[in-house]
Homo-oligomer: A and B are copies of this chain.
């Protein structure tokens, strides 16, 4: 029950902590920290400015450092680890699961990670060195090696006795794995079956040979899709010969799902998914500057297109007023399609077999919307030009903006659908580059269409 109260009063705790920190009374802060779970401390660190972060970290029990590190966002963790001695880090990591140690060491320089490895005890070191050979974003990099293996020709009774001698089970163990003498996986037995079966039952009678298995080199996002679709809590990881290497558990998969979803959202704004909300000003400013610089280049390109038609604008200054409308609408329509396609790709919905349907459907949608909004804007502009007595041919102006609108909505949507597919073929992340390429296309095409038509009529 106590835990629940902890959750409900998080806001209060945060306020207590802040006021204690502000007043400089550190003993109540330390007491508050002792009451919190490591995961909550990690969340607290992620929610505080860098100055306060360091104070909290200093007040933390040395023994809890590893556990808190394991729950921290990579970027913030990196900052703390950089200030730790190899011995201190090795102590902090000593009690963690192999997969968590691998996750932390994988982010360090080869040099530092080797120093830390040398300080771990021998058995741990061998296991971790082996696990570090798998890329971080594969099933091998995600797996833990704490599987419970049993043989097929024993009874449930024997397994129960073995488990009682063992005295504990790794977290999130929902299956025991049945292997042969060469460690090749034969099947799995849900622990619920061990609990509900008659003790005389033989394992061969209850083994499930149809379970989901994960090859060690499978990409972590594909692993996440399998877990998500089939509601798995854990799954065995096999090498090419079908030997059991370890298992992946849902808690690590949830992190993959969260990171991947964050990646799409954050990348489309040119941000890193690990971006620290409360990060240091200079680091943040530098990262943002790069994205703004790229955008400046694309918008200068668009400005140069307008520059080509400066004399037309000199004749019809009303065109300057209408300038933002067409590129904006094309950009919005394109972004909708782009987002839909990027989401569809990350859910595994889009394949070679259905791309052409998708393109045709989006084309049809864009023509419908293109016509609706071309007619609307033409009517509005005709009325406005008439009302203002602008002295130019109202109908020609209406055709100019309506034509440009239809053209650019179709261009935007077709670009939004095809850019991510093309980028993916080129091995460029569509979530990062897609938006920039798209708005460049819709800006340039929009200005060209509007001012080109205007030049034809009025130039």
- Asked whether any CB of chain B lies closer than 8 Å to the CB of A9, the reply is no
The smallest C-beta distance from A446 to any residue of chain B, in angstroms, reads 10
Given contacts A18-B353, A191-B191, A265-B265, A164 and B198 within 8 Å (CB-CB): yes
Are A336 and B271 in contact (CB-based, < 8 A)? yes
Instruction: Give the A interface residue count (CB, 8 A).
Output: 141
Contacts of A333 in B (CB 8 A): 288, 292
Bound together, the chains give a CA A338 to CA B353 distance in angstroms of 37
Are A324 and B306 in contact (CB-based, < 8 A)? yes
Are B300 and A369 in contact (CB-based, < 8 A)? no
- Asked whether any CB of chain B lies closer than 8 Å to the CB of A117, the reply is no
Within 8 A of B (CB), among A232-275: 233, 238, 242, 250-251, 254-255, 257-258, 261-262, 264-266, 268-271, 275
Bound together, the chains give a CA A70 to CA B110 distance in angstroms of 47
Per-residue interface assignment for chain A, residues 178 to 220, with 1 indicating a CB less than 8 Å from any chain B CB and 0 otherwise: 0000000100000110111110000000000111111100000
Are A284 and B3 in contact (CB-based, < 8 A)? no
Contact of A195 among B1, B191, B261, B364 (CB under 8 A): B191
Contact of A296 among B197, B226, B377 (CB under 8 A): B377
Output the nearest chain B residue to A51 by Cβ-Cβ distance.
B357
Are A266 and B343 in contact (CB-based, < 8 A)? yes
Are B292 and A373 in contact (CB-based, < 8 A)? yes
Contact of A306 among B173, B222, B320, B341 (CB under 8 A): B320
- Asked whether any CB of chain B lies closer than 8 Å to the CB of A7, the reply is yes
Contact of A39 among B7, B46, B196, B230 (CB under 8 A): B230
Per-residue interface assignment for chain A, residues 37 to 49, with 1 indicating a CB less than 8 Å from any chain B CB and 0 otherwise: 1011011001111
Bound together, the chains give a CA A1 to CA B213 distance in angstroms of 6
Are B336 and A443 in contact (CB-based, < 8 A)? no
Output the nearest chain B residue to A348 by Cβ-Cβ distance.
B43
The smallest C-beta distance from A7 to any residue of chain B, in angstroms, reads 6
Are A354 and B257 in contact (CB-based, < 8 A)? no
Output the nearest chain B residue to A215 by Cβ-Cβ distance.
B4
Contacts of A32 in B (CB 8 A): none
- Asked whether any CB of chain B lies closer than 8 Å to the CB of A171, the reply is yes
Bound together, the chains give a CA A353 to CA B169 distance in angstroms of 41
Bound together, the chains give a CA A263 to CA B209 distance in angstroms of 38
Are A329 and B71 in contact (CB-based, < 8 A)? no
Are B213 and A343 in contact (CB-based, < 8 A)? no
Output the nearest chain B residue to A208 by Cβ-Cβ distance.
B3
- Asked whether any CB of chain B lies closer than 8 Å to the CB of A121, the reply is no
Given contacts A39-B230, A317-B310, A361-B278, A324 and B353 within 8 Å (CB-CB): no
Contacts of A306 in B (CB 8 A): 320-321, 323-324
Within 8 A of B (CB), among A303-331: 303-304, 306-307, 310-311, 313-314, 317-325, 327-329
Identify the 9 closest CB pairs spanning chains A and B, nearest first. A261-B261, A231-B251, A269-B339, A169-B192, A320-B320, A277-B344, A285-B368, A39-B229, A4-B213
Seed contacts A7-B212, A278-B354; 6 additional CB < 8 Å A-B pairs = A3-B213, A18-B353, A47-B354, A269-B335, A289-B373, A306-B324
